[in-house]
Amino acid sequence: MATDPILKRVTGRTKVMFILGDPVAHIIGTAILNEDFFRHGVDATVSPLHVAPADLGTVLGAIRAMRNVAGFGVTIPHKIEVIRHLDGTTPRATGIGAVNFVRRNPDGTLLGDNVDGIGFVAGLSRNEVEVAGRRVLQIGAGGAGRAIAFALAEAGASHIAFANRTAGKARALAEAVTAAYPGCGTSLSAPDTAGFDLVVNTTSVGMQEGDALPADLSRLGASAVVADVIMAPETTPLLAEAARRGCHIIRGKEMLLDQPRLVREFLSL
């Protein structure tokens, strides 16, 4: 009988990782990471762990005692709540207010980071889209939006204008980004793309058939880049319309492609 090469290589020397969520049936990040580790000759393996919110502290306490655990990912609903069980977070995760990967240090201490936003910027970079010096319109200020805004500022965006249905969330994000990156100007905006170099949709608007466009593209220049975080459909109506106008478009899946490398780096695998 054929054996999966990924399972065949797991031994007592293998580093172990988990992805904690509730529910877990939708998780594919484990398979993506296992495949990446295999391709890069990294002796590590990842499993989903179904952990209810009430059990998160108990599970993290146990992970502290598990000496062959390199770290773990967290997904819905643990990304914010996990922080109070950790020993610390990177400045980036502290600003974002959410964590998606945790490193277990050799002494059992746990450090949280968030690579969602830097994954997005890495996707831009792979597509030869430069962020430094760009004027950005970001639509949305939820979890993905917070991570992306901090990463855009870190990558040197000159200005980020935020448009969000709930204006208070956009205002809070703009203030947090300016406090962390004084060199990056921020403002609140209508979802009007005129005059921007880069337009980023971080909302879920465009996932459902019949959704309106999250931004008005009628005055968008053809030299602008338009990116969307939505993964299904692969080409959202926003991206289709931007492509029709001659703009360079970046699809949601681009945000995921560099994350295994970023996780390997963070966990020193």
Helix, strand, coil: what percent of the chain each, to 5?
35, 20, 45
Instruction: Find the shortest distance in angstroms from Cβ 245 to ligand NAP.
Output: 22
Neighbour tally for 33: CB within 10 Å? 22
Residue 168: CB partners within 8 Å, gap ≥ 6?
Answer: none
Contacts of 116 (CB under 8 A, 6+ apart): 100, 143, 144, 147, 148, 151, 255, 259
Which of 63/200 has CB closer to ligand NAP? 200
- Residue 215 CB, nearest approach to ligand NAP (Å): 11
Residues lying near ligand NAP in the complex (CB under 6 A) are found at 116, 140-145, 164-166, 169, 202-205, 207, 229-231, 252, 255-256
Question: Which CB sits closer to ligand NAP, 72 or 120?
Answer: 120
Given the complex with ligand NAP, which of 141 and 184 has the nearer CB atom?
141
Residue with tokens 């998160």, as numbered in its chain:
56
79 catalytic, yes or no?
yes
Which of the residues 15, 79, 169, 253 is marked catalytic?
Answer: 79
CA distance 95 to 92: 5
To ligand NAP, the closest distance from the beta carbon of 11 in angstroms equals: 32
Cross-strand bridge partners of residue 71 = 17, 103
Residue nearest to ligand NAP (CB): 142
Nearer to ligand NAP, 153 or 229 (CB): 229
For residues 245 and 226, the answer to whether their CB atoms sit within 8 Å is no
Q: How far is the CB of 84 from ligand NAP (least distance, A)?
A: 19
Neighbours of 243 (CB within 10 A): 13
| Residues with catalytic function | 79
